[in-house]
A and B are shown apart, each in its own frame.
Chain A
Amino acid sequence: MKKNRMTLVRAFGFSLAMIGLCGFVYPLILTGAAQVLFPFQANGSLIEVQGKPIASALVGQDFTDERLFHGRPSAYRYNTYTAEEAAAGSGGGLASGSQNYAPSNPALTERIEKDVERFLAENPTVKRQEIPSDLVTASGSGLDPHISVEAARVQVDRIVANTGLSRTEVETLIDEAVEEKVLGIFGETKVNVVRLNLALARRLGMI
């Protein structure tokens, strides 16, 4: 009997030691090292304008301004909400994910159709078959900061019409924002909409 109790006590003591080692010592050492070596990244890669955080370089936003580039549809609208919504008590949540519509789900066809029509209304010069598919499909996280290069190019006409910038100026901004594949092999060629819009906003004097 005594032997059994000792077995249990040892197993319990060992468990506590592991909780301490793996649950506290390890994450705290990593936090310390991260804060010392990479403080910008460790705190969320926040981009500041005049001392105030305006975005995270990693997380997309629900851009709707007709002068700016728009991102992909998001199930959670990138956790973005307006002051009115905040006052009304809606919005202000924190989530991530997609609507999880199967390809055979009629709700997916409906959503895509709605996004296609809105895009065509906002960009009257673009034809349906010219819309890149990433602009009408929702990302997995609902926070995707990127769009394809074609998806940025297809919005140029609208931005030129609404901002008064020349076509070459807008196209140069896109070219500067293009992120290539690593070593030409890994990943995809893409544009970070948040960074691109910040560059565009600086040009327009918005910030």
Chain B
Amino acid sequence: MIQIICTLVLFLLILFPVGNYIYHISAGKKTWADPLFDRVDNVIFKSLRIDRSPMSWKQYALHLLLVNACLVAAGYLILRLQSVLFLNPNQIGNMEESLSFNTIISFMTNTNLQHYSGESGLTYFSQMAVIIMMMFTSAASGYAACVAMVRGLLGQRMGNFYEDFTRITTRFLIPAALLVGLFLVWQGVPQTLASNITVTTLEGKFQNLARGPIAALESIKHLGTNGGGFLGANSSTPLENPTILTNLAELYSMMILPAACVVTFGRMAYDTLRQRKAANTKISLSQTDSARGKGMGKEGRTIFLVMSLLFLLGLGLCFWSESQGNFAVENSGIVQPAGNMEGKEVRFGIAQSSLFTTVTTSFTTGTVNNMHDTLTPMGGLVPLLHMMLNVVFGGAGVGLMNMLVYVIIAVFICGLMIGRTPEYLNKKIEGREMKLAALCLIIHPLLILGFSALAVACQSGLEGITNPGFHGLTQVLYEFSSSAANNGSGFEGLADNTLFWNVTTGMAMFFGRYISIVLQLGIAGSLMKKGCVSTSAGTLRTDTPTFAVVLVVVVYLFAALTFLPALALGPIAEALTLGI
């Protein structure tokens, strides 16, 4: 318990300096590192003759999709031809079509659902040129879309996709990945291009040991909230996550960008509102005002509080449930003071495991340091629920975008209840925005429940289920929630490397990512064009604790309306039958 609290408090300490840096990158402000990075960026833009002028939301979305499409094409080719390309010391064959399709969509959409095992499925070349590369580019795409949406909401010009993409990659992702990577190597994560190795053990047996450029993948896997492991068992393996220090580094890496996006949003909103106010009242901006914006501004704080509250509620439930122990172990007459250790590592125990589980599904990374399939029923409900909500911080950028959609819905609902015109950040919310927001909200449950229904209705779907009873349905729900939320963790028991599962989850990932991004940019584009209404006594304030509570209720209400029946048949029924 103390361990979890200390871990989270430490995170807050590093969040503000990093959030501040990301805000400077996003808002195009000066940082101390500019002289170096401006040069790097100029080389890229000049040599490719890329236009750096601002785009409309349609152009922005188009260029995002185009670049993603090019990367997908190149990546697919590499996977299909990997056996004959270089850097293949472990003699790995080409990847089969449906698995390649699934893998390439999975990594481009920042999902990192893996239906292959890295040890036997990918060459070092593919790990680097496809997996690591997409871990950077998918995170940068998500972040770019998020910054563009925030600018739109604030009534600024949307910016240039290439500019945003490059700035976050060269100024944050690559330097941070190098630092974290070196730290991981120091703690024991391998980073080599040499082949796997077989050793003769103390007892005269043989043991095969995996190696490779693991640390390089490991650092960006978390920084970009990607989550796909170099090895099959992901961050639970001692080669990817050998010590408690690497565990903390990986936790913080995956929390930092989504949380920093909220800080960035808050500061940008604060700046804009302050400028508007100054323009209206013709008062010069005072120093005290600028000091107040140093944190994350009031609008940012509301969102941060709501996300934190949702996060802590989930974490509490997961930790409590895991410390109750495993039903089957208890049945065998074994005492479990350490809680449910099935599928967990001794070096992490219950505390770090339940924390990692909640973080990985809240921040939609999808990396695991313990096996989610073997969690207790209520412990497993938490990651499932957080992926269904998809707004508890969320992946790099897109989590904030989803939350802003919920904010719009909450503003609208409040407006109906008290009879005021719904407004957010001085912009009127009208029919067009509401239609787009409602569409955004419907797509996620539609993908999860629709595909789950399909899977349990046909034989090829049912064949994937490996645990009997209610837990089988949970496996199916989890797989599609993970896909649609672009999370990528799994109830790994599911036998999912089949044509059915590769194609259906591939589609869920694709639609879950791109439809939402385009719709959300659409909302921002529509709000951007509107004039500002000035704040009056009749304005519903969105920076108060009351509004934060309303937002939490709205999020849970929508989840309950859409997902409760499915959850009742899965984890809740399992928990009840086991008598918890």
Partner of A26, one of B162, B178, B343: B178
Bound Cα distance A11, B25 (Å): 22
A11-25: CB near B (< 8 Å → 1, else 0) gives 111111111011110
Find residues 41-80 in chain A having any chain B CB closer than 8 Å to their own CB: 41-46, 52-65, 68, 72, 78-80
Chain A residues with CB under 8 Å of B492's CB are 97-98, 100
Contact B120 A141 (CB under 8 A): no
Are the CB atoms of B48 and A41 closer together than 8 Å?
no
Q: Which residues of A contact B132 (CB under 8 A)?
A: 22-23, 26-27
Chain B residues with Cβ below 8 Å from A95 are 117, 119-120, 232
- B223 → chain A closest CB, angstroms: 12
A182 at the interface (CB under 8 A from B): yes
B371 with A140: CB separation less than 8 A: yes
Contact with B346, one of A54, A56, A62, A190 (Cβ below 8 angstroms)? A190
> What 0/1 pattern do residues 217 to 251 of B give for CB contact below 8 A with A?
10010000000000111001111001111011000
**Which residues in A have their C-beta under 8 angstroms from that of B493?**
99-102
**When the two chains form their complex, are residues B236 and A141 in contact, meaning their CB atoms are under 8 A apart?**
yes
Segment at the interface with A among B64-72, B265-273, B386-394: B64-72
A155 at the interface (CB under 8 A from B): no
- Inter-subunit contact A147/B346 (CB<8 Å): yes
Instruction: Say if the beta carbon of B342 comes within 8 Å of chain A.
Output: yes
Chain A residues contacting B343 (CB-CB under 8 Å) are 98, 100, 137-140
Cα A57 to Cα B347 with chains together (Å):
14
Contact among B67, B174, B233, B332 with A109 in the assembled complex (CB-CB below 8 Å): B332
Interface status of B334 (Cβ within 8 A of chain A):
yes
Does the CB pair A14–B471 fall under 8 Å? Answer: no
Query: What is the CA–CA distance of A78 and B51 in the complex, to the nearest angstrom?
Result: 54
Q: Does A173 contact B (CB under 8 A)?
A: no
Which candidate, B205-213, B297-305, B406-414, B431-439, is the interface stretch facing chain A?
A: B205-213
Which chain B residues numbered 41 to 86 have a C-beta less than 8 Å away from chain A?
44, 47-51, 63, 66-67, 69-71, 74
Closest to A113 in B: B332
CB of B484 to closest CB in A, whole Å:
22
Q: Is the CB of A109 within 8 A of B373?
A: no
User: Residue of A at shortest CB range from B10?
Assistant: A186
Question: Interface 1/0s, chain B 323-336, versus A by CB < 8 A?
Answer: 00111110111111
The bracket for how many chain A residues form the interface is 35 or more
Q: Which of B146-154, B187-195, B358-366, B416-424 contacts A (4 or more CB under 8 A)?
A: B187-195
Pick out which of these stretches binds chain A: B196-204, B440-448, B526-534, B546-554: B196-204
- Closest chain-A Cβ to B482's Cβ sits at a distance in Å of 15
Q: Which single residue of chain B is at the shortest CB-CB distance from A80? A: B207
Q: Determine if B327 and A103 form an interchain contact, defined as CB atoms under 8 angstroms apart.
A: yes
Using CB atoms, name the residue of chain B closest to A79: B208
Instruction: Verify if B469 is at the interface (C-beta below 8 Å from A).
Output: yes
The smallest C-beta distance from A152 to any residue of chain B, in angstroms, reads: 11
Q: Is the CB of B334 within 8 A of A108?
A: no
Residue pair B66, A140 in contact (C-beta under 8 Å): no
Which of chain B's residues have a CB closer than 8 A to the CB of A62? 205, 207
- Which of B178, B181, B205 has most chain A Cβ within 10 Å? B205
Residue among B119, B182, B208, B352 making CB contact with A92, cutoff 8 Å: B208
- Out of B128, B190, B242, which one reaches A24, CB within 8 Å? B128
Whether B3 is near chain A, meaning CB under 8 Å from some CB there, is yes
CB <8 Å contact, A78 and B207:
yes
B491 sits at the interface (CB 8 A): yes
A121 CB within 8 Å of chain B: no
Q: How far is the CB of A55 from chain B (nearest CB, A)?
A: 6
User: In the bound complex, what is the Cα–Cα distance between A33 and B205 (angstroms)?
Assistant: 34
The answer to whether B192 and A43 have CB atoms under 8 Å apart is: yes
Q: Are A94 and B210 in contact (CB-based, < 8 A)?
A: yes
Interface 1/0s, chain B 86-125, versus A by CB < 8 A? 0000000000000000000000000000000101100000
Q: Once the chains are docked, how many angstroms separate the CA of A37 from the CA of B186?
A: 8
Partner pick for A148 among B193, B338, B374, CB 8 A cutoff: B338
Nearest-neighbor residue (CB-CB) of B206 within chain A: A81
Given contacts A14-B162, A23-B133, contact A68 B202 (CB under 8 A): yes
Question: Taking A22-B137, A140-B369 as contacts, is the C-beta distance between A186 and B345 under 8 angstroms?
Answer: no
Check B485 for interface membership: any CB of A closer than 8 A: no
Min CB distance A190 to B, Å, is 5
* Contact A185–B344 (Cβ < 8 Å): no
Cβ–Cβ contact B468 & A96, under 8 A? no
Q: How far is the CA of A30 from the CA of B6 in the complex (A)?
A: 31
Contact status B188-A45, CB under 8 Å: yes
Which chain B residues lie closer than 8 Å to A112 at the CB level?
328-329, 332, 334
CB B528 to nearest CB in A, in angstroms, measures 22
On whether the beta carbons of A35 and B50 are closer than 8 Å, the reply is: no
- Collect the chain B residues with CB atoms within 8 Å of residue A7's CB: 63, 66
Chain B residues with CB below 8 A from A178, complex form: none
A86 to B206 alpha-carbon distance, docked (Å): 9
Report yes or no: A35 in contact with B244, Cβ–Cβ below 8 A. no
Which residues of chain B are within 8 angstroms of A42 by Cβ–Cβ distance?
185, 190-192, 215
Binding site for B on A (CB under 8 A): 7-8, 10-19, 21-24, 26-27, 29-31, 33-35, 37-38, 41-46, 52-65, 68, 72, 78-83, 86, 91-106, 108-109, 112-113, 116, 128-129, 131-134, 136-148, 181-182, 185-188, 190, 197-198, 201, 206-207
Provide 5 A-B residue pairs closer than 8 Å at the C-beta atoms, listed in order of the A residue. A10-B51, A95-B119, A98-B492, A104-B327, A188-B346
Query: Closest 9 CB pairs between A and B?
Result: A100-B493, A187-B244, A23-B133, A140-B236, A96-B233, A15-B70, A34-B191, A22-B136, A146-B346
User: A-contacting residues of B (Cβ < 8 Å)?
Assistant: 2-3, 6-7, 44, 47-51, 63, 66-67, 69-71, 74, 117, 119-120, 128-130, 132-133, 135-137, 162, 169-170, 174, 177-178, 181-182, 185-194, 196-197, 199-211, 213, 215-217, 220, 231-233, 236-239, 242-245, 247-248, 325-329, 331-338, 340-349, 352, 368-371, 373-374, 376-377, 466-471, 474, 491-493, 574, 577-578
